[in-house]
Amino acid sequence: MLAGVLAGWFGKGLAAGEPVLPGSEQDPLVSRSYVDAKLKMAVVEVPAGKQLIGFGGTEIIVRSGSATAIDSELGGLSDVTAGKDLRRGEQAPVNHLLIVPRDDGRGIQAVTPLFVMVRGNYKLQP
């Protein structure tokens, strides 16, 4: 019985279909410039009092200055370095990777002038 189950399981894996060919429609190739643009992290100066609002997936690292988190009704800013959620008014630690999970107005508020590294889409607002 065990041999029959194993044979069926291996047969199912082999019958799953043809392997996907690199460069095909199912697995397209991308150019180096596209990958470099997606991985590039910009250095942004944020004046005191301004907000840096990210969109879904935006990554923020505060390099210098003091900032607080801006949250939304759905949650906070993900501090993946500390493994916690930053809620409105909490200090955004320097050199921590912060991720904006959704397009709902989350980001950071500059208490003092800031230099931040940002990967992804963002906007500065008063």
**Tens digits of residue pLDDT in 31-73:** 777 766 666 789 999 999 999 999 999 999 999 999 999 999 9
Q: Report the pLDDT value the prediction gives residue 19, as an integer from 0 to 100.
A: 78
- The model carries a pTM of 0.72
Reduced to 3 states (helix: H, G, I; strand: E, B; else coil), residue 117 is strand
Q: 14 or 26, which is more confident?
A: 26
**56 assigned to some structural domain:** yes
**94 assigned to some structural domain:** yes
Q: How far apart are CA 97 and CA 89, in angstroms?
A: 17
Burial 21-47, CB ≥16 within 10 A → b, else e: eeeeeeeeeeeeeeeeeeeeeeeeebe
**4 assigned to some structural domain:** no
Instruction: Give the residue carrying structure tokens 């609002």.
Output: 53
Confidence of residue 20 (pLDDT cuts 50, 70, 90): confident
Q: What DSSP element (H or E) covers 6?
A: helix 2-14
Q: Report the pLDDT value the prediction gives residue 37, as an integer from 0 to 100.
A: 65
**96 assigned to some structural domain:** yes
**125 assigned to some structural domain:** yes
In the chain, how many domains are there?
1
From residue 110, give the alpha-carbon distance in Å to each of 54, 115, 119, 120, 126. 14, 10, 18, 19, 10
Residues spanned by the domain of 90: 43-126
Confidence of residue 8 (pLDDT cuts 50, 70, 90): low
**99 assigned to some structural domain:** yes
**17 assigned to some structural domain:** no
Q: Report the pLDDT value the prediction gives residue 113, as an integer from 0 to 100.
A: 98
CATH code, domain carrying 72: 2.60.120
Q: Is the pLDDT of residue 9 over 60?
A: no
**71 assigned to some structural domain:** yes
